[in-house]
Structure 1
């Protein structure tokens, strides 16, 4: 669930290099089949929490393959909850999107992750601030707190501090 999943909640779109899609574990094979059927030229690599698809013609400046689609599987309780309780379905297309609450918590989780690289955390912080500001009249704070509490033990309290910082133009407490 990357930028393509929550870009509609941002006040202005931004570019991204790849598409991240999260599916339940029981939909993994179906999702892989859908991607490989639609884009048979993509190379596939399977890891524990993600299946990466690469365009063989797309390399970074060091000659490494660049993922174009990441098929992500939930690895944490909050992600399982997002897939079960925080999805909107577009009536015209059947496309599934996260709720604003889910988008906010997913960005928060990425930002506070101890294993995330600093440059990515800085982008996460910018995205999180924009998500909060653009949607603060529409989201359900109790749903955000409930989800954030599944990110880590103190998440439901910490997310309130992050929201307060965003709404009051203060730096995030990280």
Structure 2
């Protein structure tokens, strides 16, 4: 199981929710691995389309390592904070780098897997945020590798420790962690 955080805040809501989901997955017997995007050097996509023949991005950064982990995983849970009704730049940068998966028609992301998405925000509409994720994860290039996905939106996260003190939020994160392992 691969757990990806895109929050820039160490010890904040995203980290808290990922830890809860990881704990639940471990309790179900899953081997877990966590990647904090904030600690990686992942550059923006240049839209050069040099990846169209091989599916390999020409940029030499940490994205290829992350992509290999995605290939190898049985399931994925990713976390993203919402700023101004959009996923934070760190999350969008990772998503944009999936260009190599759709510009090369024969590219495969490995076996189909379950994907859980955890979004934290202060006041964004839950339905709008779920629609945003749906628009991304139903792209044909990604859909080839997604068996099923669930999105959980955690609202009213006005401080870095909002989720830490919310038992309902922690339980929902754990439920996603359990669901992906099924």
* Greater helix content: 1
Relative contact order (C-alpha < 8 Å, sep 6+): which is higher?
2
TM-score when normalising by structure 1 = 0.30
- Flag the structure with larger Rg: 1
